[in-house]
Amino acid sequence: MAKKATRKKATGRKAAARKPVTNAGKAKLSKTKTAKGKAPRKPAPAAPGASPSWTNAEITEAFRRFRAANPEPKGELQHVNPFTLLVAVVLSAQATDAGVNKATPALFAAADTPAKMVALGEDRVRDFIKTIGLFRNKAKNVVALSQKLMAEHGGEVPRSREALEMLPGVGRKTANVVLNIAFGEPTIAVDTHIFRIGNRTGIAPGKTPFEVEQKLEQVVPAEFKRHAHHWLILHGRYVCLARKPLCEKCLIADLCKWPGKTIVQK
């Protein structure tokens, strides 16, 4: 019995020790309360068209703020040339950039050209990238696309969407990233973050990534197109998070049309 009581007390102490953490968490959350002191609303579903659309002036203002905060945004995938960028983007499908960046320095030290990648071979490529999801299929694609680059493009990465999309493992999004980062084209690659932001904020609603891309093509002013992709991805990755968007830190909170945003209009 005495033992039980001691255990109970210990459990109580543990609970007490946990309490401040919970309170701190609550205090943190309370920062996102509305001016009326109401608890933050649950994120509303961001169905296409659920948020009102933006005026051209509002979209220009949003991108003007993104540019002022980060004039030269960069992608986060490590690479040393267009070929390694292409490989890194192929490896990043359904994986995080951070996860890809852990594996690629050693891979690119061993093979930074299509010829070296082919010489390395599928088995060794697989060993280098085995920490990345779907690594077996990706290793196969990396070697196959390297072979195709050598056979059809003189070992160079082509600057054409059609040619890029003909490479194994390369879809529209990957082609857009490569065209944008390697060649400076004003393409907008719609990933999960941009898809969410387009629909949630109302800037570019669409049922598919392609629809969101087309909408962004229409509404983003030309002067911002080159970097729009990076600004939106970084915004989605670090501020407009999927589960708990950090609306209190958001540069465009007063412009955002999402009914679920957790701060009042400025």
Structure-block tokens of residue 214: 């087309």
Please report, for residues 2, 16, 23, 257, the alpha-carbon distance to residue 12 in angstroms, rounded to integers and kept in the order given: 15, 6, 16, 46
Distance CA 157, CA 232 (A): 26
**Both tokens of residue 227?**
């970097």
183 vs 238, beta carbon nearer ligand SF4: 238
Q: Which string of x and - marks every residue 191-230 that binds ligand SF4 (by CB under 6 A)? A: ---------xx-----------------------------
Residue from 112, 144, 239, 259 that binds ligand SF4 (CB under 6 A)?
A: 239
Q: Is 123 among the catalytic positions?
A: no
Smallest distance from the beta carbon of 53 to ligand SF4, in angstroms?
A: 14
- In the set 138, 173, 215, 261, the catalytic residue is 173
Contacts of 95 (CB under 8 A, 6+ apart): 132, 133, 134
Write out the two tokens for 246.
């950090």
Q: Tell me which of 90, 107, 132, 252 binds ligand SF4, using CB under 6 A.
A: 252
Query: What is the nearest approach in angstroms of ligand SF4 to the Cβ of residue 52?
Result: 12
* Token output for 249: 């830190």
Task: Decide if 92 contacts 77 (C-beta within 8 A).
Answer: yes
Determine, following the binding rule CB under 6 A, whether residue 142 of this chain makes contact with ligand SF4: no
Q: Which stretch binds ligand SF4 (CB under 6 A): 110-118, 131-139, 219-227, 237-245?
A: 237-245
Cβ-based nearer residue to ligand SF4, 63 or 128:
63
Going by C-alpha positions, the residue among 95, 83, 184, 190 that lies closest to residue 138 is: 95
Catalytic residue IDs: 173, 191
Residues found near ligand SF4 in the complex (CB under 6 A): 200-201, 239-240, 245-247, 250, 252-253, 256, 258, 261
